Amino acid sequence: MNHRMVAEFTALVAAQAPLIIEGTSPLADGPLCVYWQHSKTLWPRRRRELDELCSEMIGNDSSDRIQQIVTIASDLLIGEFLTRVAGAVLTACDRRRRLPRGEPIARNVLTVHQQCRASVLRLLLHSTCFPADQLAELDRLRRRVERWTDVLLGPLVAHYGNELADFAFDPRRARDFGEEQSLARFGSTARPAWSFLLAGLRSAFPSPPGPTSANDPTLPILRSILALFPDDAFHPEGPIQSLQQTRVARASEHSEGPLDTPDHSTQRLRHDFASPTRRAPPRSQRRTRE
């Protein structure tokens, strides 16, 4: 799992959250279902692997087993970073539209991650066979995840309501961060604010050596969240555009009627996960989710 990639994607979702929250159409069922299915499968499986490895530990255990434990525990912590920020965005969408679509899924996945977090905390508190320096590094990662989660959630809590504070580690700290950040900082990825944010993230979550594997288990989760962005959130060339540009375009659509939207490459990528045939989940999945 590429920690830097997940951290940067999480920051992008937080910074561009209004593009989803203030969208004019309901959240697509297809990407929501993909997000829920992969999250409820991946994180409990990783938690079981962690618990099994910890239960089998003995004194002077092999370095390979210790590294496996560190890797899984770190992945669970970084995964919770994404889960909390994405969950707050889905909840804000539901509250704004008054439709219970994304929030039940968001809170379900958060509950799953809280159970995973409990396993990591047990490792930090009760492991007697684990090297102290490895435990210290894992604990520093935990604290970085907590602080950065509250930093990114702060503006969302301040702008969209205290209900989103449930997704913060420290709701009071998140509110303080939100009050300190100006509206220009919130909802903008313009330089220099976005550059400073990325620099801080890259320092806190260094990238592992080597390229990201195409089999990275978090990729379906990231793609499903990307597919939730509405079509008008993207430039014709593909990249996500600014909130200001999107608001202007939406205002003109409301006053003059809908405009034709060309089929761009980024939109085609998103529609792999949210095409007309996939926006509504299969009936079996729909019954499962209910």
Task: State the average pLDDT over residues 204-223.
Answer: 79
Nearest Cα residue to 152 out of 75, 202, 81: 81
Whole-angstrom distance, CA of residue 113 vs CA of residue 111:
5
pLDDT tier for residue 259 given thresholds of 50, 70 and 90: very low
Quote the Cα angle for 157-162-168, to 5°.
60
pLDDT tens-digit map of 12-41: 898 888 888 887 778 889 999 999 999 999
Average confidence (pLDDT) over 129-143 = 89
Check if the beta carbon of residue 56 is closer than 8 Å to that of residue 195: no
Q: By the 8 A CB rule, do 212 and 2 touch?
A: yes
Asked if residue 3 has pLDDT above 70, the reply is yes
Residue 208: is the preceding peptide bond cis (ω within 30°)? no
Q: What is the pTM of this model?
A: 0.78
Q: Which residue has the higher pLDDT, 215 or 109?
A: 109
